[in-house]
Structure 1
Amino acid sequence: MRVKATIETIQVLALQGLGFRGHDESSTSLNQGNLIELLKFKERGNDALESIIFKNAPQNAKYTSPKIQKDILYILADRVRNMIFDEVARGYFCILVDESQDKSKKEQTALILRYVKNDGLLGERFFDIMGVKNTYALTLKKEISNILSQFNLPIQNMHDQGYDGASNMRGEWNGLQALFLKDCPYAYYVHYFAHRLQLALIAAAKDKPNVWQFFSHLSCIVNLVASSSKRLGELKSFHRSEVENMLASGERQSSKWANQIGTLHRAGATRWSLHYESVRNLIDIYDASCVVVESLNKSTNQQIRGQANGVYKVMKSFEFTFILHLVDNILGIMNALCQALQQKTQDILNVMKLVSTTKALLQKLRQDDWDTFLANVVSFCNRHNIAMHDMSSPYERGTSCRRQQDHIIIEHHYHFDIFSSTIDFQLIELEHRFNDGVVKLLSLSSPLDPSGNFNLLMWIIFAILPRNVIPKISLLRTSML
């Protein structure tokens, strides 16, 4: 009964991802940690259990020590892996691998298996996490091979590899995918699609100095406004008053979830969709953010006053407002594709259609929507008292001490040097990472989806094709999955 109570408690804690041990587990402690406190809760009202655990248990058989906890966890993990092995059923599988540093700066590598279950549906299971001394390709291959062989998963049955685009993973000669290809000729390497989109957007942002500078300014604005609870409180208060006035004047419609009082969010480094949320939030609460930043100009802290002065000038500049709306339009178009690429159950045919649609919408924005876009930016500037340029004036490039005149007008600079050029970078990167050949191949492979009419398709193939071709079709199906 003691062992069973400990196992059930550990199962609950592991399922919820909670820590087991407490800071002080002595008998005089008011909080002895999650494991012991849950066991105490479990014994309440259970006389049989209360009579055999803790004080009534033998000193060497309480079954609550850290070693016992780890032993039980290892047993549970092995049982889960054995269930996954039964689902794979000695069939073909794919591996997904990624590494990262934990809080103690040690490299940890996660291994995920993707396979077709007996019912024809795709299964994707987290299989193991392993500590590695380094991230060299040979080291990773050795560790992964050891884990697979330990659970009787033949490396020869591997039919796909999914990694990021790091050189040690995708290297054509000495990368991890190349090392596995020597042992498994059908283990084709696929770069994560969601990661490709992330890299495409980041590369485009870095190649355009104006866009890179915009995100730098955006980070400063968020850090300044959201760095204290007092400023966040002021931001929400100003935004609430603004929304109430707009509702009263009829500028906003009242409906469920339509007028939430928001705040500024930092742009995350791992998901580009967070950049879109950050840009969208700043546009929604632009006036409230300006009021908070302007109020900091009166701060007694000279450093904060200097930062607020610089940030306020940036926010009230036409170039910042222009790029703010440009990035909002581009990321808004790409948001549907970004969300689709991050879904667990991914419909690859739908994603390929979204890739083509995204390219078409970006091309349309570049060719046809300049006038509409500029009109929206001008309207925003007029509403928020932002000084406008005379778009027909000559554009001068350079510093104040030495200016170089390009013999172009300001509208030409914003239209072609920023608007069209930024969209072109996006289109080039998307074409490079999602080229037409890959899109067409994956679209044509959609009939091989096991959740659809694959069995009917296979019967037709068996009836038409020669017998020596059928095994190759089966291998192609598993590789594509």
Structure 2
Amino acid sequence: MIKLLASYNKDVNDVVLSNAPKNAKYTSSDVQKEILSILARKVQQSIREEIGTSKFCIMVDEARDVSKKEQMTLVIRFVKKEGLIKERFLDIIHVQDTTALTLKESICASLAGNNLSVQDIRGQGYDGASNMRGEWNGLKALILNECPSAYYIHCMAHKIQLALVAASREVEEVHNFFQHANFIINVVSASPKRNDELLAAQAEEITREIELGELDTGRGANQMSSLQSPGDTRWSSHYKSIKSLKKMFGATVSVLRSVRNDSSASKYSRGDAAGALRFIVTFDFVFILLMMEKIMKTTDVLCQILQKKSIDILNAMNSVSNTKVLLGDLRNDGWEPLLEEVKSFCQKHEIDIPDLNEK
């Protein structure tokens, strides 16, 4: 950056880098931080001018960074004079702890530093943590004490995902399936070497299926990918995880067998691979894998719709109703097609199919 400035201005070029008097090169971390601070203040001033006299909502979340420090983000949501809704990332604040009082004082200090008043807050949105939504001592309550118009709304971004996760945990077999699936993904993705083996096995499988005419070819078809881990608060992550595991089932089994039989690998790695292999090559695992893929394929459409900024409450409710109808149809008429798909999948991957007529 200094070289670029120097190339445009002779006066700057005469006093920086190798030409700097007394070795003042202006590249120390302190100078860099000061430059970043100046830039940040310019951005904040621009946001403040954009807000003008509008009332606004605050959205807050906190997380621990790689240096183990608690950092709080502050986003402002407001309506411009033209009637457009805008969201602006205003500040990131280091906090000593995540108690409601500490967060509230940090928010007030940041707002005051940007010439914004707590009295102009008309909404506050946080996640469902007790320090945020507590009725008496939560951040919500402390802000409401100062500004009764700052209505609290639970952050909607994760609600349907959390509902799906909670519902799946109510069914013991499904809960165990996700635990086993996560274990399998962790074992296969434990190292770059295994990931390379997974991609190589996937490439071989795709080539073989194209030669047999089981896969279509064309631009963008049969892209290489990797296994994805599910996350309780990430939109559609469970569906993406299931979909990736189904797509790379054969390659995953191949890698697990390779690790299990690798005499150079540690006994712990071989043991993990053998355990993961026992789970994955069972009829029960395949059945729940394909069943949850069908269910979450339906719910994922709703997840995608609810994330659109243009969605309104009527269309949202209509989408919820449609999803419930589709899930009802799957429950009433989906058994036979699902069972046939499971049997076909097991035959393809040489997995034993039990006699379903037995008790």
**TM-score, with length taken from structure 1:** 0.68
Higher alpha-carbon deviation: 369-378 or 319-328: 369-378
- The question of whether the paired residues in 2 share the 8 Å contact of 1:90 and 1:153 is answered with no
Q: How do 1:218-367 residues align onto structure 2 when only pairs under 5 Å count?
A: 218-300=181-263, 301-342=266-307, 345-349=309-313, 350-367=315-332
Higher alpha-carbon deviation: 304-313 or 373-382: 304-313
Q: Give unmatched runs, 5+ long, in structure 2.
A: none
Cα offset, 1:42, TM superposition: 5.5
Q: How do 1:82-93 residues align onto structure 2 when only pairs under 5 Å count?
A: 82-93=45-56
Say if 2:330 is the partner of 1:368: no
Corresponding residue for 2:175?
Answer: 212
Q: How many residues align?
A: 356
Q: Which has the higher contact order (CA 8 A, sep 6+)?
A: 1
What amino acid sits opposite 1:372 in the alignment? P
Quick one: structure 1 residues 61 and 316, their matched pair in 2 at CA, closer, same or farther if it must change by over 3 Å?
Answer: closer
Q: Residue 250 of structure 2 aligns to a residue in which SS?
A: helix
- The question of whether the paired residues in 2 share the 8 Å contact of 1:193 and 1:341 is answered with no
Quick one: distance in 2 between partners of 1:302 and 1:150?
58
1:192 to 155, 163, 167: 155
Q: Residue 95 of structure 1 aligns to a residue in which SS?
A: strand
- The question of whether the paired residues in 1 share the 8 Å contact of 2:239 and 2:296 is answered with yes
Higher alpha-carbon deviation: 139-148 or 45-54: 45-54
2:136 to 165, 173, 177: 173
Quick one: distance in 2 between partners of 1:116 and 1:155?
17
Q: Residue 128 of structure 1 aligns to a residue in which SS?
A: strand
What amino acid sits opposite 1:327 in the alignment? M
Q: Residue 125 of structure 1 aligns to a residue in which SS?
A: strand
What amino acid sits opposite 1:312 in the alignment? L
| Higher Cα radius of gyration | 1
- The question of whether the paired residues in 1 share the 8 Å contact of 2:17 and 2:26 is answered with no
Say if 2:354 is the partner of 1:389: yes
Corresponding residue for 1:76?
Answer: 39
Cα offset, 1:280, TM superposition: 0.9
Quick one: distance in 2 between partners of 1:154 and 1:49?
41
What amino acid sits opposite 2:127 in the alignment? D
Quick one: structure 1 residues 305 and 243, their matched pair in 2 at CA, closer, same or farther if it must change by over 3 Å?
Answer: same
Q: Residue 245 of structure 1 aligns to a residue in which SS?
A: helix
Q: Over the residues paired in the alignment, what is the CA RMSD in angstroms?
A: 2.4
Q: Residue 313 of structure 1 aligns to a residue in which SS?
A: helix
What amino acid sits opposite 1:98 in the alignment? D
Q: Residue 325 of structure 1 aligns to a residue in which SS?
A: helix
Q: Give unmatched runs, 5+ long, in structure 1.
A: 1-8, 10-38, 395-481
Quick one: structure 1 residues 176 and 228, their matched pair in 2 at CA, closer, same or farther if it must change by over 3 Å?
Answer: closer
